[in-house]
Amino acid sequence: MTFSFFIFKKYIKSNRDSRFLNLISIIAIAGITLGVATLIIALSVISGFEKTLTQKLTDIDSHIKVFSFKSSLPYLDNSIKVIDSICGNNIDYTSPFLSNLALVSFKNRKDGITIKGVFNEGYRKKVEENIIFGSPEWDSLNTLIIGKSLANKLLVKVGDRVTLFALKKNEIPSYENLPNIEKFKVSAIFESGIAEYDGAIGFTDLSSAQKLFSMQGEVNGIDIKLRDVSKADSLAEELRKELRYPYYARSIFDIHKNIFTWISLQKKPIPIILGLIIVVAVFNIVGTLLLMVIERTSSIGILKSFGTRKRQIIQIFVLQGLYLAIIGIVAGNLLAIILMELQTRFNLIKVPSSVYFVTKVPFDFSIEIFGLVSVITLLLALLASIVPSIISSRINPVNALRFD
């Protein structure tokens, strides 16, 4: 045990006996605790929002979409070969689809809807994961899976038959080219938590969609599901270069740019603003140590008169500052975990899904977030401890012994 550490332990014990120093230490620790907990919770919520929204969007949709500027995609087989050559092992599956606008009617209620016909088993399973009522009947013609919001608007239940009005080959209707009218059975209702899907999209099998739009054997898009969503932007850029007109590729981050831009804008100022909370809390250490220096002036003079070096005096008070910071950091981490766990279990703070796309506050219990905040706080506490420690080392022993 070093001399500095030995004296530090003695000071810690005597601090507990001093009501004044004990109160000041508790205030400093409380400030660090609240600062650390606040920053961890804020960063966890932002990261949780990003991960949850990305997961929700990819659960009901693909990572990359290949569209056509025409009504259908020509040379489909060649295009899929190009996609396979560029994306390679990054692909989970590719799913050609047919998607167009239609009008849905049930009794006297009507609304617009996007009908999407799919046949890929992987894509169908993603849709099925969000079903809350009924069960899909992909193998039956003219069955439809709609979102909960749309079902509520139309007052539709599972088993009801709705009427769809759709343009033939996506052409302007006329007396010679009347819209198609088909009856579809609602086999299931899904809820993704994303208003754009729950209130405006319906899934059916590809053959039913082709019949509804009079586009037998045709598709107008390709869904690409990747193994790693972080590669979506780079692969979409490569596809845009390789796939020629009328093809155009967009990643999920391009399609939902407004959502991800919103998240990005929130992430930029929050670490700065909340980081200031920690800076203010750490400056409590400066005040606390300065008060300790004043309180211990006489004992510092005694130590220096016995030959204690400046470096050892500095070490004693740096250890004091780190001691306060470590207690505050540990308490802040525990407080953050407790508060996030309470919110996760009991949903104390409710959020409107129509605004935030989720019904509960999402948290990212990431070790990186906890570790980053803790390390930064500890470094700031170390820097904050140096100033009062240097001041204490420069105290004149003669004046210190006279100090009362």
Q: Please, how many CA atoms are within 13 Å of residue 74, restricted to the half-sphere of its CB?
A: 5
User: CA-to-CA distance for 351 and 342, rounded, in angstroms?
Assistant: 15
Measured CA distances, 347 to 124, 162, 341, 353, 361 (Å):
31, 37, 9, 13, 8
Among candidates 90, 95, 63, which has minimal Cα distance to 220? Answer: 95
Amino acid at 54: T
User: 192 with 237: CB under 8 angstroms?
Assistant: no
Among candidates 240, 261, 262, 264, which has minimal Cα distance to 65? Answer: 240
User: CA-to-CA distance for 268 and 270, rounded, in angstroms?
Assistant: 6
Amino acid at 57: L
Dmax over CA atoms of the chain, in Å, equals 109
Domain segments of the chain: what residues? 3-57+260-402, 64-228
User: 313 with 300: CB under 8 angstroms?
Assistant: yes
| Model pLDDT for residues 204-253, shown as the tens digit of each residue | 999 999 999 999 999 999 999 999 988 999 999 999 999 888 889 999 99
Helices in 129-256 by DSSP H: which ranges? Answer: 148-154, 195-198, 206-212, 232-242, 252-255
Does an H or E element contain 327, and which? helix 310-346
Q: What confidence tier does 399 reach under pLDDT thresholds 50, 70, 90?
A: low
Q: Which residues, in sequence order, are bridge partners of residue 161?
A: 185
User: Which of these ranges, 2-6, 28-32, 151-155, 165-169, has the smallest mean pLDDT?
Assistant: 2-6
Pairing of strands 64-68, 221-226: antiparallel
What was the pLDDT predicted at 165? 96
Highest mean pLDDT among 129-133, 292-296, 306-310 belongs to 129-133
Question: Phi-psi category of 159—alpha, beta or left, where left has phi over 0 and alpha has psi -120 to 50?
Answer: left
pLDDT of 10 higher than 80 = no
SS3 of residue 224 by DSSP: strand
User: 403 with 305: CB under 8 angstroms?
Assistant: no
Tokens matching residue 208: 């039913």
pLDDT of 299 higher than 90 = no
- What does the DSSP 8-state code read for residue 292? H
User: CA-to-CA distance for 364 and 371, rounded, in angstroms?
Assistant: 13
What was the pLDDT predicted at 16? 60
Helices (H) then strands (E): counts for the chain:
16, 10
User: CA-to-CA distance for 327 and 332, rounded, in angstroms?
Assistant: 8
pLDDT of 11 higher than 90 = no
In the predicted model, what is the mean pLDDT of residues 101-106?
96
User: CA-to-CA distance for 286 and 298, rounded, in angstroms?
Assistant: 20
Among candidates 342, 378, 291, which has minimal Cα distance to 27? Answer: 291
User: CA-to-CA distance for 81 and 84, rounded, in angstroms?
Assistant: 5
| Model pLDDT for residues 153-171, shown as the tens digit of each residue | 999 999 999 999 999 988 8
Among candidates 92, 89, 85, which has minimal Cα distance to 223? Answer: 92
Length in residues, the chain:
404
User: 376 with 278: CB under 8 angstroms?
Assistant: yes
Q: Which residues, in sequence order, are bridge partners of residue 202?
A: 115, 146
Tokens matching residue 62: 């693909």
User: 198 with 147: CB under 8 angstroms?
Assistant: yes
User: CA-to-CA distance for 21 and 161, rounded, in angstroms?
Assistant: 76
pLDDT of 403 higher than 60 = no
Block residue for tokens 């030959």: 307
Measured CA distances, 38 to 7, 275, 321, 356 (Å):
34, 10, 21, 21
Query: Which pairs with CB-CB distance under 8 Å and at least 24 residues apart come from 235-240?
Result: 235/64, 235/86, 235/87, 235/90, 236/64, 238/86, 239/64, 239/66, 239/82, 239/83, 239/86, 239/87
- What does the DSSP 8-state code read for residue 281? H
What was the pLDDT predicted at 15? 62
